[in-house]
Amino acid sequence: MRRLLTYTTVLLVALAGTVAVAQKVSTPDELDAAMKKIGAAQGATAKAVKSNEYADAKAQIMTVKQTLMDVESFWAGHKKDDAVQMTKDAIARVTAVEEALSATAPDMETVMAAIKQVGGTCGACHKMYRVQNEDKTYSLKPGTI
């Protein structure tokens, strides 16, 4: 019973937080902030999975998904159809992670494989639209929009 209460609480807090901060991304600075948020949440997801903290992982992956949905508006607003499609692909792969985490008894290897697929989709977009800075962060490639 206590575990159910814990999972329910984490889920409700995550949902409330996601709704409270949900916003469309429209500027390059907002895109950079959203990408940092996604990166942090992806890292936290993997860490939680490796610690068998699946409720925490689910909350983090929900943040990734919501932020990607917000980022889609940036690419659509700048008429970058290929980036919109890459974002949709990333959202679909994040949904696969959610499904793997929602299993009655999540399998760490299955979840980690799904997380790796998300990373591959992110990498494809980074290769085309992002540039790595000297401090190892990424930003929008000059001339992209």
The pLDDT value given to residue 26: 85
Q: What is the dihedral of CA 120, 126, 128, 131, to 10 degrees?
A: -150
pLDDT higher than threshold 90 for residue 48: yes
DSSP per residue, 101-117: HTSSS--HHHHHHHHHH
**Per-chain mean pLDDT for the chain:** 87
The two structure tokens encoding residue 67: 């932020």
- Name the domain count of the chain: 1
Please check whether residue 145 lies inside any domain of the structure.
Answer: no
Please check whether residue 50 lies inside any domain of the structure.
Answer: yes
The pLDDT value given to residue 6: 55
Rounded to whole angstroms, the Cα distance separating 42 from 37 reads 9
Rounded to whole angstroms, the Cα distance separating 25 from 142 reads 18
Q: Nearest 5°: CA angle at 91, between 85 and 94?
A: 145
Give the structural domain span for 66: 2-140
**Residue 103's CATH number:** 1.20.120
* AA identity, residue 47: K
The pLDDT value given to residue 20: 45
* Residue pLDDT, tens place only, 79-118: 999 999 999 999 999 999 999 999 999 999 999 999 999 9
Please check whether residue 97 lies inside any domain of the structure.
Answer: yes
Please check whether residue 128 lies inside any domain of the structure.
Answer: yes
Please check whether residue 15 lies inside any domain of the structure.
Answer: yes
pTM above 0.85, yes or no: no
Please check whether residue 98 lies inside any domain of the structure.
Answer: yes
